[in-house]
Amino acid sequence: MSEAGTRELEEIKKDPTDVHVFISYSHEDFGIAQCLQEELTAVNPARVHCFLDAYNIRSGEEWHSKIIDNLKAADWLIFLYTGRERRPYDFCGFEIGIFTSVHLLDTSKKITEAPRLLCIHDTPAVPSLLAMVQNRRIRPYQQDGPPDPTNELDFYIDTPLARLFEDFYYYPERMPLHGGTMRKGLPLRQMPRTAAEIAERVKRLTIKFQEARKNDPISEKFYQVRMEIDIRDPLPKNKTEIPGRSMVTAVPDTFNLLGLSPDPDENGELKTTWDQMKSSLEANNETFAWMDKVEDDILDAAHQRNLRSPETSFRAHDGQFYRPLLARQVIYGSGARKFSVIFVRTLPRKFVGDETTSALLIGLILASRFRFTFIEAAKDVQGNLGDEVSDAEFQLACRQMIYDIERMEQESSEFGMNNPDIFHQAFGPENHEIVSAFYEIWFPARKELFTLIKSRLEEPNTVSRDVIRDAVKKFTQTLSPYNKRFLEMCLQRYTAYLKGWLNKPD
């Protein structure tokens, strides 16, 4: 449409013989809308005027009143639907409501019988609002054998889109746009010139729909298991955790690796929340160090920082080791975010020797590390949290404590000890309860300590230094007897295992 023609239309100087068409479409479908505009205008260029609800609104204009004015002037309202999302202000219900009220269409009855209110689409179905109006689905021509113009012509004449153009040519009844080239009641095939013209219009519009689909994906395949985390709540910089109600979506393969099986929702998707996933792993006596890693990376990404958390891996329920990697972040206009995490298979960290020897040695090292950090160095830990240190030093000591504990869990996970199964095998059935008790006591004690420390980090004035010091002391005292018993068991079992091997004849 020329600039002059556009200005004339925008002023809505409507001649009684003019026919105005309001075309509603998604911005991504502009090419289709422009093609439809050209085909409709070409029917009778002097009388047909098309308004494209996005193109004809200039930047800075009051779009609301502009759309209302042109809907009131419109004789036809045509929606184009390809399944692409429309802009927030292009709401179909609003446009249908204005058009039906101006033309006195009874919405209590089936407005699908109103030929001047319709939707052209190439999808199997349309949204419920568009299902209320007449629908004209695009049907592409499938050539079978050598080109046959007659078959192609017959095909396009029989399409629902041809009926739209036929109705348009006959509109309005008092002075049809066809200008006397058609006769009411006569089948379209008996008017060869007009039939060929309509078939060409249908063909061009159909091809335009097909061209618009060329950049659409026809298939998608992921070569790594993955999950998506939807976060709708804000992520202020002082937060140390992502919201627990954040939604986690994944395919069955991903949840199977984690030993989880959430029920499908009404759409058949498998979903759970971040908190529910943590709780499920905890209930299975499994560490979730990899979740801490993902959480740290998400917070760094949200605040535009480099990803600082050390890499970690874990042993999944298929017996293989995986490393979680933050792969993608999508930010929406509402402030919501979606993060994609992939799980890449990796080689396990292990000591030379068989699985039993490795498990015993790993248990001995990790239990010793806890003892060195929190029991033997208890005075130093309390000193770092003393009243004489500055607020910045106190906060730093709190962060270091979280890091030390999480690093122990991550190291345990990297060696495949994120659940007690391997320890149960290594220490034998006679020590089953000792192993289980350590895992069962660890999670509640850790959770209680982390809750207080993270509250202090987020809002320093809400948790006093005394509360933090008492929480650390309680954490150490709770785990100390379990740590002692676990170390004794490791030493005894490792010694007995080694003696058995050393006493074997060469």
DSSP 348: P
Contact criterion met (CB below 8 Å) for 18 and 73: no
Percent of the chain with pLDDT over 70: 89
Q: Residue 316: helix, strand or coil by DSSP?
A: coil
What is the per-residue pLDDT across 233-255, written as a single tens digit (0 to 9) for each? 988 888 888 999 999 999 999 99
What is the per-residue pLDDT across 411-426, written as a single tens digit (0 to 9) for each? 777 776 766 777 788 7
Domain ranges, ordered by start, for the chain: 3-212, 225-346, 355-502
From residue 73, alpha-carbon distances to 1, 68, 100, 294, 379 in Å are 18, 9, 12, 55, 83
Percent of the chain with pLDDT over 90: 41
From residue 124, alpha-carbon distances to 83, 136, 167, 237, 329 in Å are 10, 11, 24, 45, 31
pLDDT-flagged residues of the chain (< 50): 1-10, 56, 59-60, 86-90
Given this model, what pLDDT does residue 7 score?
Answer: 38
Q: How confident is the prediction for the chain on average, in pLDDT?
A: 85
Q: Which two tokens stand for residue 90?
A: 């292009």
For domain 3-212, is the CATH number 1.10.10?
no
